[in-house]
Amino acid sequence: MADLSALRSKNRLYYVLLALGGLVVLGGAYAVHMMEHYGHVISGMNNQVVWGMPHVFAIFLIVAASGVLNVASIGSVFGKAMYKARAPLASLLSIAMLSGGLAVLMLDLGRPDRLVVAATNYNLTSVFAWNVVLYSGMFSLVVVYLWTMMERRMNPFNKAAGLAVFVWRFVLTTGTGLIFAFLTARQAYGSALLPPMFIVLSFAWGLAVFHVVQLAIYTWNEKALDPAIMERKKKLLGVFVVGSLYMVATYHMTNLYFAHQTGFERFILLDGGVYPNLFWWGYIVLGNLLPLLLIFVPALSGNKSVLAASLLVILGGFALLYVFIIGGQAYPLNIFPGYEASSSFADGQISAYVPSLYEFLLGFGGLAIAFIITTVSVRVLNFMPQDKPYIAD
């Protein structure tokens, strides 16, 4: 009967986790209600920094939602059995994070009640409008993909669905990068490097999230993950982290080369206060160097190291997005090149931004939505990776 009591306590733990997630979602709903009632004046955002903390959360979730599908693609498109066993879990995480991210993005709108306007009026030249199609398309495609994996009769269509998802998510992350790449007037953005940079970042962030969830599921089910599998997937994370570091470095190096961009780079990398600190300590040291040590130093092998490395990569992702999105807006827009400017509207000045509690509540609400979708789905459906004895292929 000892087994039964263990089961009961686990059952209780499941409901406690759900309740905690629900509480955080409620916090997000409260923030939305307050912002709806009082307006965005209660957020830290203003007319200079128009996108704030909610966008950091939303973009992280959406980019990671695309990247986590890498696991599925390596299985379905490139036929690696070890990854194929993990494709359902990766797809679930993608749907969960996409839901959370989109919820945050939508609920931060000035008029979230006009969602139907966004759904019925498409401006074909707007990257945002493209993204409405890309996000909803990805959602449906991944659902179909999951169906082809989990329903035996649909299995023959699995490869085709996997390929479609593979192509779609590349286009989707390109679209996310383009939101910024098309902002030609802003020093921080307007670079063709951004879409590929976001794609490589998505690989690292998505896989990091996958590692965390996978380890949690194995621990919950008291199963041990084959160390050989862990080893390979850990190294893959290392490769993605190095790749994303390369893209971020290239983005800043090209900016440093353009004389008219050196002021902005100086601000982000050297004397911009919170931004250089977050970039060097948050993104470079905690988000890249430390995870790389944890991954590649043989003495540090083990599940705990992988978990720590993955959590750090996620943390680094948030730090990078904060610097990119908010630092990019805080630096003054250069309306008169060659002139110093000042005005009542913060021309020529670094804009101040302090995120408010409501923004965090909304952002964590999005994370909690992703958490609840994952937790419930993993409980009621079979998302546990089913490995055959591992043979390197």
Q: Which stretch binds another protein (CB under 8 A): 93-101, 117-125, 214-222, 229-237?
A: 117-125
Distance CA 376, CA 374 (A): 6
Considering the rule CB under 8 A, would residue 339 count as an interface residue with another protein? yes
Closer residue to another protein (CB): 239 or 341: 341
Q: With binding defined as CB under 8 A, does residue 115 bind another protein?
A: yes
On whether the CB atoms of residues 324 and 264 are closer than 8 A, the answer is: no
Nearer to another protein, 57 or 203 (CB): 57
Residues 6+ apart with CB under 8 A from 186: 328, 329, 333
Minimum CB separation of residue 263 from another protein in Å reads 11
Size of the site for another protein (CB under 8 A): 50
Among residues 79, 335, 379, 381, the one that binds another protein under rule CB under 8 A: 335
Q: Is 354 in the site for another protein (CB under 8 A)?
A: no
- Min dist. Cβ of residue 198 to another protein (A): 16
Nearest to residue 211, comparing CAs of 310, 300, 294? Answer: 310
- Compute the distance between CA of residue 325 and CA of residue 53 in angstroms, rounded to an integer: 9
When asked if residue 118 is in the footprint of another protein (CB under 8 A), the reply is yes
342 or 382: whose CB is closer to another protein? 342
Q: Please report, as residue ranges, which positions from 173 to 232 form the binding site for another protein (by CB under 8 A).
A: 179, 182-186, 189
Provide DSSP, 52-91.
-HHHHHHHHHHHHHHHTHHHHHHHHTT--HHHHTTHHHHH
Sole binder of another protein in the list 333, 357, 376, 384 (CB under 8 A)? 333
Pick one of 33, 114, 223, 304: the residue that binds another protein (CB under 8 A): 114
Residue at token pair 């970042």 = 201
Question: CB of 62: closest distance to another protein in angstroms?
Answer: 15
Cα–Cα distance measured from residue 366 to residue 374, given in angstroms and rounded to the nearest whole number: 13
Tell me the three state secondary structure of residue 17.
helix
Question: DSSP secondary structure string, 125-173?
Answer: T-HHHHHHHHHHHHHHHHHHHHHHHHSGGGGGGHHHHHHHHHHHHHHHH
82 closest CA partner among 271, 275, 276, 225 = 225
Per CB under 8 A, the list member of 59, 194, 201, 346 interacting with another protein is 346
How far apart are alpha carbons 56 and 241 in whole angstroms? 19
Nearer to another protein, 10 or 114 (CB): 114
Q: Which of 14, 34, 112, 384 is the binder for another protein (CB under 8 A)? A: 112
Minimal distance in Å, beta carbon 126 to another protein? Answer: 5
Footprint (CB under 8 A) of another protein, residues 130-169: 132
Q: Answer yes or no whether residue 259 interacts with another protein by CB under 8 A.
A: no
Stretch that binds another protein, among 214-222, 264-272, 345-353, 374-382 (CB under 8 A): 345-353
Selection from 5, 8, 122, 107 nearest residue 55 by Cα: 107
Considering only residues 14-73, where is the footprint of another protein by CB under 8 A?
Answer: 38-41, 46-48, 50-51
Burial of 19 (0-12, 13-18, 19+ CB in 10 A): exposed
CB of 121 to another protein, least distance (A): 4
Binding site residues, another protein, CB under 8 A:
38-41, 46-48, 50-51, 109-112, 114-115, 117-118, 121-123, 125-129, 132, 179, 182-186, 189, 329, 333, 335-347, 351-352
